[in-house]
Amino acid sequence: VPWTHTAHAVSSSLAVAGALVGMVLLTVAARRCAASWRALARTGPFLVALELVATGWTLTSIAAFEAGLGTWGLGIGQRLQVLAIAVWLVVLAWSAAAEARRE
């Protein structure tokens, strides 16, 4: 396996871990002041759960692939991860814009 593959795997893992930590912390903060960040407070927990499921799917698929058991839809799991993060970011932006309009 070339070093670029390892570098890609490490950087992707760090990126998803960072996104997941940020999603959890900002969703918790939004729920604590739900009056200000309504959209994120309402949909954030679902999107965080979706991201956790997609991450579990991806990790399971990687383990299966490395064990020679097939890909188990690895690409679908990865795309679901990116989609959940992207939708969460849209909801975050929507919440921030709505709060700015109220001020």
Residue with tokens 């760090």: 14
3-state class of 1 per DSSP? coil
CB 40 within 8 A of CB 84: no
For the stretch 16-38, pLDDT in tens is 999 999 999 999 999 998 788 99
Residue with tokens 């299966």: 64
Is the pLDDT higher at 5 or at 22? Answer: 22
Evaluate if pTM is beyond 0.75: yes
Q: Which of 79, 66, 27 is nearest to 49 (CA)?
A: 27
CB 23 within 8 A of CB 95: no
